[in-house]
Structure 1
Amino acid sequence: MIIATQPYYKVERIVAADSIETIIHQRSLCLYSDRIETAYREFQLAEIFDISFRDLGQGQGVLYLHTKQGVYAYPVETAAEPFITEVKRLLP
Structure 2
Amino acid sequence: MVFRHPYVKVRREIDHWNFEQKYIEEEFWVELTEEKITTDELVFSIEKVFDLSYKMLSEGYGFFYLHTSKGVFTLQVKENPSEFIEKFREVERK
For normalisation by structure 2, the TM-score amounts to: 0.89
Structure 1 ranges of 4+ moved more than 3 A: none
CA displacement 1:5-46 (0-9 Å, x = unmatched): 110000011235422121101000010110011111111111
Say which one has the larger Rg.
Answer: 2
After TM superposition, the structure 1 = structure 2 runs for residues 1-92 of structure 1, keeping only pairs within 5 Å, are 2-17=1-16, 18-92=19-93
Aligned residues: 91
Q: Counterpart of 2:75 in structure 1: which amino acid?
A: Y
What amino acid does structure 1 have at the position aligned with 2:39?
Answer: T
Structural RMSD (CA): 1.2
- Using the size of structure 1 for normalisation, the TM-score is 0.91
Letter in 2 for 1:11: V
Structure 1: 5+ residue stretches without partners: none
Identity %: 27
